[in-house]
Chains A and B, each alone.
Chain A
Amino acid sequence: MSNEIILGILLLSPILGFLFNGFRFRSQNNTLAGTVATLAAGVSFLCASVLFFRLLDLPKESREIFVSYFSWIEIGSAKVSASFMFDELSAVMSLIVTGVGSLIHLFSIGYMAHDDRPSKFFAYLNLFLANMLLLVLGSNLLVMFVGWEGVGYCSYLLIGFWFKDEAKAAAGLKAFITNRIGDAGLLLGMFALFAIFGTFEFQEINARMLDVAGIPLALLTAGTLLLFVGATGKSAQLPLYVWLPDAMAGPTPVSALIHAATMVTAGVYMIVRLNPVFLATPATMHVIAIIGALTAVMAATIGLTQWDIKKILAYSTVSQLGYMFLAVGVGAFGAAIFHLMTHAFFKALMFLGSGSVIHAMHEEQDVRKMGGLKKQLPITHLTFAMGWLAIIGTPLFSGFFSKDEILWMSWHSPRGHFLLWLAGIIGAGFTAFYMTRLMALTFWGKSRVPKETHPHESPAVMTVPLIVLGTLSVIGGYIGVPHILGHALHIPNFWETWFERKLMVVPGLGEASAFEESLLMLISIAVAGAAATLAYIFYIKEPSKPQEVVSKIKGLYTLVYNKYFVDEIYQKFVINGLVNLSKAFWLYMDVGFIDKMTYKVSDFVESAAGGLRELQTGNMQRYALYIVVGFVALVSIVFF
């Protein structure tokens, strides 16, 4: 089968699943809907794998499959076609999206078994998958944008899936609107790039960037900065991250798929895709790195204080995304994608695991009411633990390799800085602490579970994905083993060689000093280990300790617990201001001016007509007079 057909099946399969379930959205047959949806996702994964193996057969210099289906927009000299590119980067992205996606679809069959609208759910999930594939496979900015908007829309639909609860529906709306604000920046950035390069195609833009001469740097910087604004909206960075914690109102598989593994990574993907452009604008990269680092630390601090299991994971996601942007900001594009992949594994795993816990606890999400669940939920506990070890950076687990690469590059790269590395280390410490806290409060220690709930392990359809993802969290890192370790074990860094062609190296990157790298690695291991141990002590050995610490720093604790009051600040200064402005416009311009003008016109017509009406006196002599006057006037005009 030709590449066009396989790629076509890849893209169309989830759409067909969407149509099937969409038309039958009232059906309550969960098994049928779920199976169809999972099959659709599975077929896409299969196609992606086939294309991946075909890629391997191609020689390294031309390792890409480019398919153009039809010409989409043609305005003068601007031509955009619906074309897709399966190259090294999009291969990895699509494998992650379809692979993890299929597992989550499978999990949802079990999770949504008692819902009253399962078909609608699976339809939305498939639609999301289709749009995400558009995003990562599009060969130009416009096709990517279609997918970008599409996933935003599906995110809104899925977050507000239980829309009858007003708070949940509001959360969906918040996600969409915050995204939209970012999208304004994205659009402006796209226009700036088009103004400079005259094309939207990634390949053409990146090729043009090989020779930097003649490109207006100020406009390029503005363009990349605006693109980054779009990325902050989609990938939940400062200042547009506020939607992600609220997005936990949606069903847990949604949180796993969209807000951990795929959609939120779109911003990272976009920047990596355009890495030559970003490398040429160091100012933007500094901004990205700083915001990434700040977000990583800030979100981690909030995660320390939360009691809702999903909120903890949400802030963790924001924090880990911060790491990805930190990586991108210092020029470690490969590391960013690496962390994207490992994060997809362990975060999706942990979200699904939390879904399993919530399911077992009959929709209870407060960790204060959990504890000692490792006895009742053994598989969930085991797999969750694998994810936990990965995220805190335990050596040999996947998260260790990826996070370490980021921390190393934030120190070593010419665009990096000691402070950035320090922020990363501090964030890593917090991460280890709050994840261990989560484990301790949920699975270990004494059980605080109320007597009525009888937690039981989830069915196989839910545990199998957990096991698969758990395995990936453990072994997934071995394709990107850093050299200093790889030399010893004779494992080459597959990741680096795979991406060599597509990811440009930061100019001025010197040789890596084995000593420095090892030292930094040891420091991060030590910090993570210390933080984890501290959390263990706090929550298992001496449960009263946390309360003591909190009472000593009451003010700071309140600040952090309330998420630094960011939402309140936005409400007061931004939203209220806008609403009042709109009200003022409505009152003074619309009602006061425009409406008044229309009334004035009609009043004028009425009074003029009234005046003219006076002419009809009914007095026939008057009419005769008018005739004569008219006659005189007419003849005078004609003759004289």
Chain B
Amino acid sequence: MPNIMNSIALNHFIILASILFCIGMLGVLIRKNVVVMLMSIELMLNAVNLIFVAFSRYYGDASGQVIVFFVMAIAAAEAAIGLAIIMAVFRKFRGVEIKLFENLKG
């Protein structure tokens, strides 16, 4: 490998992860379709994973990767449950727009 100037540092990863996180958040706020909202949430979780791995490499500590492990497991579980709920809701409402779930309005 040619020895190019090593200029990629931790803060690059932080900025990248922040961008991904904010894009995910924007998706949650902006989209009408519930499934796409869930996908955006997955995006946010992935951004967090990136941060953890980057820090884990920075400190040389395996704990960061272990946490990523757990986050992944839980994110997958949550996606499964979320989709199951959406399935149940879809059966009732015949659609998955967020607008349909306004029963709790004040």
0 or 1 for each of A600-625: is its CB under 8 Å from B? (1 = yes): 00000000000001111111110011
Choose from A613, A614, A619, A621 the contact partner of B28 (Cβ within 8 Å).
A621
* A621-B28, A625-B29, A628-B29 as given contacts; A613 in contact with B98, CB under 8 Å: no
Kindly state the separation between the CA atoms of A613 and B104 in the bound complex, as whole angstroms.
12
Kindly state the separation between the CA atoms of A625 and B37 in the bound complex, as whole angstroms.
13
- What is the minimal beta-carbon distance from B47 to any residue of chain A, in angstroms? 15
Asked whether A618 lies within 8 Å of B29 as measured between CB atoms, the reply is: no
* A628-B25, A628-B29 as given contacts; A621 in contact with B98, CB under 8 Å: yes
0 or 1 for each of B6-41: is its CB under 8 Å from A? (1 = yes): 000000000000000000010011100000010000
Asked whether A619 lies within 8 Å of B99 as measured between CB atoms, the reply is: yes
* Shortest Cβ distance from B31 into A: residue: A621
Asked whether B25 lies within 8 Å of A618 as measured between CB atoms, the reply is: no
Chain A residues, CB < 8 A from B101: 618, 620
* Shortest Cβ distance from A628 into B: residue: B25
- What is the minimal beta-carbon distance from B83 to any residue of chain A, in angstroms? 17
Kindly state the separation between the CA atoms of A617 and B103 in the bound complex, as whole angstroms.
9
* Shortest Cβ distance from B104 into A: residue: A618
Chain B residues, CB < 8 A from A617: 102, 105-106
Counting chain B residues whose Cβ lies within 8 A of the other chain, the interface size class is 10 to 19
Chain A residues, CB < 8 A from B30: 621
Chain B residues, CB < 8 A from A616: 104-106
- What is the minimal beta-carbon distance from B29 to any residue of chain A, in angstroms? 5
Choose from A614, A620, A628 the contact partner of B98 (Cβ within 8 Å).
A620
Asked whether A618 lies within 8 Å of B102 as measured between CB atoms, the reply is: yes
Kindly state the separation between the CA atoms of A613 and B102 in the bound complex, as whole angstroms.
14
Asked whether A624 lies within 8 Å of B28 as measured between CB atoms, the reply is: yes
Asked whether A619 lies within 8 Å of B106 as measured between CB atoms, the reply is: no
* Shortest Cβ distance from A620 into B: residue: B98
* Shortest Cβ distance from B30 into A: residue: A621
Which residues of chain A in 618-638 are interfacial with respect to chain B, using CB atoms and an 8 Å cutoff?
A: 618-621, 624-625, 628
Chain A residues, CB < 8 A from B105: 616-619
Asked whether B98 lies within 8 Å of A619 as measured between CB atoms, the reply is: yes
Chain A residues, CB < 8 A from B28: 621, 624
Chain A residues, CB < 8 A from B29: 621, 624-625, 628
- What is the minimal beta-carbon distance from A632 to any residue of chain B, in angstroms? 10
- What is the minimal beta-carbon distance from B44 to any residue of chain A, in angstroms? 11
Kindly state the separation between the CA atoms of A617 and B37 in the bound complex, as whole angstroms.
19
Chain A residues, CB < 8 A from B102: 617-619
Kindly state the separation between the CA atoms of A444 and B90 in the bound complex, as whole angstroms.
116
In the complex, 30 of the A-B residue pairs with CB atoms within 8 angstroms, ordered by the A residue number, are: A613-B106, A614-B106, A615-B106, A616-B104, A616-B105, A616-B106, A617-B102, A617-B105, A617-B106, A618-B101, A618-B102, A618-B103, A618-B104, A618-B105, A618-B106, A619-B98, A619-B99, A619-B102, A619-B105, A620-B98, A620-B101, A621-B29, A621-B30, A621-B37, A621-B98, A624-B28, A624-B29, A625-B29, A628-B25, A628-B29
Task: Name 12 extra pairs, CB < 8 A, besides A617-B105, A617-B106, A621-B37.
Answer: A614-B106, A615-B106, A616-B104, A616-B105, A616-B106, A617-B102, A618-B104, A618-B105, A618-B106, A619-B105, A620-B98, A628-B29
